[in-house]
Chain A
Amino acid sequence: MLEIVLFYIAATVALVATVMAMTRANAIHALIYLIVSLLAVAVIFFLIGAPFAAALEIVIYAGAIMVLFVFVIMMLNLGEKGDKQERQWLQPSIWAGPAILSVVLLIELVMVISQTSGPVSITAVSAKEVGLSLFGPYVLAVEIASMLLLAGLVGSFHLGRRYLERDNLEKQGGQ
């Protein structure tokens, strides 16, 4: 019973925070709401028996990826001008159409969910089981993901290095 109450509280927090994240004109305020939403999702993961996924949600999404988002916003230095532009983009005439269509989809989704049987029994999945399945049946996906990450790493290194070389050349030319 307690779990269900906690689940609904966390789910409400996640939904409200996500809506707020979408509607804020100030990018930093939106990002803070998004972080709150990720933390709420982590609580939900924990409640439905996936403590390892909950921890990773906090460490990786809330703790690392969102930091990089904030980092980029800091570099851009949007300020008041960015807020004004964002407010212009948030006119009802722009979001009304997609919103109505997605409400239709939401109603369908609620109907589908309400027809399925009640809550499934919860079994906690330990970190060991996650590891075993990652390096067992899903090992190919893990390897492909690691290759993709390596390609991204090499690509960003290449892009950064090109600027570095050009700067060095300019310096030499100046002398």
Chain B
Amino acid sequence: MSELMPVILALTILIGGVAGAAVLTWFERRLLGVWQDRYGPNRLGPFGIGQVAADMIKLLFKDDWVPPFADRLVFIFAPTAIVVAMMMGFAVVPFAPGMMIIDVNIGLLFFLGMTSLAVYSVLLGGLASNNKYALLGGLRSAAQMVSYEVFMGLSLIGVVMMSGSFSLVDIVEAQTDVWFCFSQILGLIVFIIAGIAESHRLPFDLPEAEHELTAGFHTEYGGMKFAMFMLGEYLGLMLISCMIVTLFFGGWHGPMLIGDWLPPFFWFSLKVFVVICFFVLLRAAIPRPRYDQLMSLGWKVMLPITLVNIIVTGAVLLWMEGVA
């Protein structure tokens, strides 16, 4: 059984990830509707959930077209890269005790590696399209993602210092008593912002920026290839939410005062759900910054914050060691 566990879990994640992303498209639009005082898709089926099926059918039956001026091989390769990379990222997420595909001692670095590989999808998609808007979108995403990857990695150093391990299971175990969202509040804030920038969702969706770049890097994409980009984006959203819960909100542990009286997986998915809702709220509430504002926010605000966080965390840890 334990031999088969990773295989079963991998298949579950594969199917669940795709289905979850599909449902998220509808859920996000409904939730945005609530916050922007309108309905959203509410016609098809109960609460409009049939919209998911309608969208799927539409995307599946669209002509799978490659523009004649595009670099054909790279054009087709680009959307698959983001889906594969994000799916690989789920391999190290600990959903519950023992319920994970692989517990490597470099789990956190593996996650960072996979998110950094996802950049290629946007970059190559924008380049292969051979289109000015797509190229601009790709260029923006390259600069944005390379910059925010730095803060994303640095913001997690505090968590690693406190738990003394890169293994995600060890990090969750270290939060049995107190979650890291209190002691690592600076790291949490930076990680959330960098996470949105990495998954290029709305406040930071400058690679797409439909007001100025039509649709940015996926201007030339349609049908299932476009759907792959969307799937990758929602998988990225789910992966970042899972990581926020794992690293800062105690993973599978129940809330501190209430205790662990419900199954661990329930607590984990409940927290992930809340984080996803928070991301949708951010999308509804915050306008898109200008490109130079985005970059100066990163290098002039986020970088100093993460460095201060690392220094203070290290000092406090050394001081506590001296006291004990």
* Residues of chain A having any CB pair with chain B under 8 Å: 26, 28-29, 32, 35, 51-52, 54-56, 58-59, 62-64, 67-68, 70-71, 73-75, 77, 126-127
Contact = CB atoms under 8 A, between A and B. Distances in A.
27 contacts: A28-B127, A29-B74, A51-B104, A51-B105, A52-B109, A54-B106, A55-B106, A55-B113, A59-B153, A63-B116, A63-B117, A63-B149, A64-B116, A64-B149, A67-B116, A67-B120, A67-B142, A70-B124, A70-B127, A70-B142, A71-B139, A74-B135, A74-B142, A75-B139, A127-B105, A127-B106, A127-B166
Nearest to B135: A74
Contacts of B123: 67, 70-71, 74
Would you call the interface of chain B mostly helix, strand, loop, or mixed? helix
B80 to A, nearest CB: 12
Contacts of A51: 104-106
Interface string B100-124: 0000111001101110110110011
A127 B77 CA distance: 33
Interface in B107-161: 109-110, 112-114, 116-117, 119-120, 123-124, 126-128, 135, 138-139, 142-143, 145-146, 149, 153
A56 B135 contact: no
B113 A70 contact: no
Contacts of B113: 55, 58-59, 62-63
B127 to A, nearest CB: 5
B124 A32 contact: yes
Interface in B193-238: none
B286 interface: no
Contacts of B110: 55, 58
B258 interface: no
B222 to A, nearest CB: 22
Contacts of B109: 52, 55-56, 59, 127
Contacts of A67: 116, 119-120, 123, 142, 145-146
A167 to B, nearest CB: 14
Contacts of A75: 139
A74 B119 contact: no
B54 interface: no
Interface of B: 71, 73-74, 77, 104-106, 109-110, 112-114, 116-117, 119-120, 123-124, 126-128, 135, 138-139, 142-143, 145-146, 149, 153, 166
A138 B269 CA distance: 44
Contacts of B153: 59
A64 B77 contact: no
B173 to A, nearest CB: 17
Nearest to B73: A29
Greatest chain A CB density within 10 A among B114, B128, B135, B142 is at: B142
A73 B166 CA distance: 34
B64 to A, nearest CB: 22
B74 A32 contact: yes
A67 B118 CA distance: 11
Contact of B71 (A28, A52, A63): A28
Contacts of B105: 51, 126-127
A67 B117 CA distance: 9
A127 B153 CA distance: 15
Given A62-B113, A71-B146, 14 more contacts: A26-B71, A28-B74, A28-B124, A58-B110, A58-B114, A62-B117, A63-B112, A63-B117, A68-B146, A70-B123, A74-B142, A77-B135, A127-B105, A127-B109
B116 A59 contact: yes
A64 B117 CA distance: 9
Nearest to A52: B106
Contacts of A28: 71, 74, 124, 127-128
B299 to A, nearest CB: 11
A142 to B, nearest CB: 16
